A and B are shown apart, each in its own frame.
Chain A
Amino acid sequence: MTKARRIYEKIVTGILFSSSTITSFTVILIVVFLFREGIGLFNSTPTEKNYVIAVSRQNTIPIITSNELADIFNQDITNWKQLGGSNDSIIRLTLNDLSGIFTEEELGPNLEYFPQKLNEYVKTTPGIILYLSKEYIPKNFAGRIIPVKKITLLDFTFGKHWYPTSAPIPQFGIWPMIVGTLMVTFGAILFALPFGMATAIFMSEIAGSRLRNIMKPVVELLAGIPSVVYGFFGLVVLVPLIQRLFGLDVGETVLAGSIVLGIMALPTMVTVAEDALHATPKSLREASLALGASELQTLVRVVIPYAKSGISTAVILGTGRAIGETMAVLMVTGNSTHVNYSFLQPTRTIPATIAAELGDTSFGGVHYNALFALAIVLFLFTIIINLSVEVIKNRNKGFNQPR
C-alpha cells in the first residue's frame, strides 16, 4: 500500500468520523437553543419592555403577580383589600384613560406636562395603579414602581389562561394546550388502535401473500401523504360532516383532530405491530396448532402475548407521531386556547399553538420565549416517549434471551 493511499484512507476515516459527530452535536444544539430561548420566559418580568407598573407610596403591597395584574385590569379585582392591602378601591391608569382624568390643556400638545400632572395625581390617589411607558415617569416620581413577580414554572404549566399579547400583562398558562394535546392524542389512539391492530393482525395472520402485497404499499402510501393534505381533507370533508352530524356551531373540534391524527398514526402502528406479530417464531404457532388449538386460539393465546411488547411499542410510536403533529391539527381543531374538556369543542394543541403564533412574535420578546418554552414541553413529551420505547425494547431483550 502506498503512502498516498494511506493518507487518503486517514482522510476518509476522518470525514466519516466528523459526519457522525455532527448528528449528536445537532441534538445537543437543538436542546441548547430550545432552552436558551425558552428559559428567558422565566427570567424576565412578563410586562413589555420599557413599561412599568406603579402604585401610590401609601400602598403596602410589596410585589404583584401577573395573574393579579390581569385580574385588576380585567376589573375582577376592584379593591386593594382583596390583595391584602388597605381598603382603597383600585383606580387604573393607562395611556388610554388620560382623557377622562386630565384636560388637553393640562397635558400640553405633546403630553409634555403629563409627568408633572401625573405626580400630583398619584399623590392624591392612594388606590392608583398605573401602567405606562417609562418616558412618562418623572425623575422625582411620587409613586412607587412595583415589581412584577416573574413567571414561575407552576404558573406556566397549570395556568389556565393563554393571552400572549394582552396588555398590560400577557398571560402564559399552557394548561389549555396540555389538555388539548392530551385529548386529541388520546382520541387519536382510541380511534387508531382498533383499526390499526385489526389491520396488523389481518396482514400478518389472515391475508395471503397476495393481499399482503397489496396492503403493505397501501399502508406506506398512507404514511407518505403530507400532513397538510390530511389537514386539508379534514377541513373540507370531516369538519363539515362533524358539524352537521352533531349539530354544532363549528365543526373544528377535538374530535376532528382526533380522527385526522388517528388516520395519520395508523401507518406507524400497523407497520410496527405487523412486524412484531410477524416475528413470532413459526415453531411456536405450529406447536400450538399441533396441540389442537384453533387458529384464533393460537392468535389470542400464543401470538399476541408473544408480540405484546412489539404491540405496545406500536402504540407508543403512534402516540409519538400524533403528539408532535402540527399542521393537520392546526387546520381542523379550531384554534381555541380556552380550557376545554369536551370532544365536541374547539381546542389547540401545543405544536399547533407554536405554528399559529410564532410568526407574529418579535425575536427575543416574552411571547417568543414562551413559545420556545412550549416547545421544550413538547420536546420532553417526545423524550418520554422515546425512553419508554427503549425501556420496552430492553426489557423484551432480557425476556427473549434467558441465558
Chain B
Amino acid sequence: MMSFVVVAILVIILGFIAVRGIGVISWEFLTTAPKEGMTKGGIFPAILGTGCLVIGSMVFAFPVGILSGIYIHEYLMENWWKKFLRMMTNNLAGIPSIVFGLFGMALFVNYLKFGDSILAGSLTLGILTLPVVIRLTEEALKSVPDGLRLGSYALGASKIQTIQKVVLPVAFPNILTGLILSIGRVSGETAPILFTVAAYFLPRLPESISDQVMALPYHLYVLATSGTNMEETRPMAYGTALVLVSIVLIINLSASLLRRQIQKKTKMH
C-alpha cells in the first residue's frame, strides 16, 4: 500500500501544477516577454534561454563524454588508470550541482573572465552532465556482445573500424536514449546557472554567447520567491512551472518510448 504513495505523489504534484497552470498558458504566454513587474506577459526569453543553455552544454558534453566513454570502455585494460578514471567519473557525478555552479563562477566567470554569459553557463552545465554522458556511453557499450567485436577482429578489421562499424551502430540507440534523458536533466537545473549566466530579468533577447539569458528554472525560482507582488505573480509562476515540467516530461517520455522501441526490436530476435 505504501508504495502507491509514490504514484500518488507524482499524480498530486503534476496534477496540481497542471490544474493551476493550464489557465495561464496561452500563445501570448509562450511567445512574449514578461511585463509590468512580471505580473503580465509571457516567458519567451526564459524558454529561449533554456534552449540556448541546453544546446550549449550539449555541444561540450556530448562529444567529450561519448569519446571518453568509448576510450574508457574499449581501450583501457583493467588497470590503475582505468580505476582512477572511473573513480573520478563517479566522484564528479556525486558532486552537488551548487558546487558546479561555484566552480563555474570561479573558473569561467571570474578567472577566465567570460563574465555571466551563455558560454560560462553552458560550460558549467556541460561539466555537470559530463559524468552522466560518460556513464551512459559505457553502459551502452557494455551491452554490445563481445562476440561481435571478436568476429570483426577475426575478419582483419582494426580496433577503430570495429568500433565505428560494429560497436557504435549497435550501441547507438541506447546512447541516444541516455543523451535524451540527460537533456531533460540539464533543462531543469538551477543551481549551476545561478551565478554563471541566469538573469533576473532581461528586456532583450541574447545576441551572442557572451550575453546573459533568462532561464526557465531560474525564472520559476524568481517568480516563486522574490516577487514584490506575490498575489499577481503566482499565476505566472504556475504557468512557468507547467511549461518547465512539460518540457522535461516530454523529453523523458520520448526517451522511454525510444527505449521501449529498442527493447521490442531486440526481443524479436
Contacts and interface: CB of A to CB of B under 8 A. Distances in A.
Interface of A: 1, 8-9, 12-13, 15-17, 19-20, 22-24, 26-27, 29-30, 33-34, 36-37, 194-195, 198-199, 201-203, 214-215, 217-222, 224-233, 235-237, 263, 266, 270, 320, 323-327, 331, 351, 354-355, 358-359, 363, 371-372, 375, 378-379, 382-383, 385-386, 390
Contacts of B42: none
Contact of A12 (B7, B160, B185, B252): B160
Top 7 closest A-B pairs, CB basis? A324-B96, A226-B188, A198-B2, A19-B67, A199-B3, A202-B3, A16-B71
Given A199-B2, A235-B224, A358-B195, A36 B106 contact: yes
Interface in B205-249: 217-218, 220-221, 224-225, 234, 237, 241, 244-245, 248-249
B152 interface: no
A235 B248 CA distance: 20
Given A20-B67, A20-B85, A359-B195, 15 more contacts: A12-B160, A23-B130, A30-B99, A34-B102, A199-B6, A224-B188, A226-B187, A228-B217, A232-B221, A324-B98, A331-B221, A351-B191, A355-B194, A378-B96, A378-B99
Given A225-B245, A372-B106, A233 B64 contact: no
Contacts of B190: 226-228, 326-327
A22 B68 contact: yes
B220 A233 contact: no
Contacts of B100: 30
Contact of B249 (A37, A214, A221, A270): A221
A36 B7 CA distance: 45
B158 interface: yes
A233 B13 contact: yes
A8 B97 CA distance: 38
A358 B96 contact: no
B110 A363 contact: yes
Interface in B101-123: 101-103, 105-107, 110-111
Contact of B3 (A215, A327, A358, A385): A215
B195 A351 contact: no
Given A231-B224, A379-B99, A16 B70 contact: yes
Interface stretch (B27-35, B86-94, B142-150): B86-94
Given A23-B68, A199-B2, A232-B241, A358 B10 contact: no
Interface in B54-77: 63-65, 67-68, 70-72, 75
B48 interface: no
Of B68, B244, B249, chain A has the most CB atoms within 10 Å of the CB of B68
Nearest to B102: A375
Contacts of B64: 19, 22-23
Contact of A327 (B71, B221, B248): B221
Contact of A26 (B9, B97, B130): B130
Interface of B: 1-3, 5-7, 9-10, 13, 16-17, 63-65, 67-68, 70-72, 75, 84-85, 87-92, 94-103, 105-107, 110-111, 127, 130-131, 134, 158-160, 181, 184-185, 187-191, 194-195, 217-218, 220-221, 224-225, 234, 237, 241, 244-245, 248-249, 251-252, 256
A194 B5 CA distance: 11
B17 A358 contact: no
Given A16-B70, A219-B6, A228 B244 contact: yes
Given A194-B2, A221-B249, A226 B7 contact: no
A351 B94 contact: no
A231 B237 CA distance: 12
8 contacts: A16-B75, A33-B111, A218-B10, A228-B220, A229-B220, A229-B244, A385-B94, A390-B90
Contact of A354 (B102, B127, B234): B102
Contacts, number: 223
Given A13-B160, A233-B13, A354 B63 contact: no
B90 to A, nearest CB: 6
A386 B3 CA distance: 28
B102 A222 contact: no
B252 A220 contact: yes
A12 B13 CA distance: 47
Nearest to B221: A228
A13 B163 CA distance: 11
B198 to A, nearest CB: 10
A354 B104 CA distance: 14
Contact of A215 (B7, B87, B245): B7
Contacts of A236: 224, 234
Contacts of B85: 20, 23-24
B92 A26 contact: yes
Contacts of B111: 33
Contacts of B72: 20
Contact of A19 (B71, B89, B95): B71
Given A194-B2, A222-B9, A358 B160 contact: no
B3 A30 contact: no
A8 B234 CA distance: 58
A17 B185 CA distance: 27
Contact of A371 (B7, B102, B187): B102
A354 B194 CA distance: 10
Of B5, B94, B97, B107, chain A has the most CB atoms within 10 Å of the CB of B94
A220 B256 contact: yes
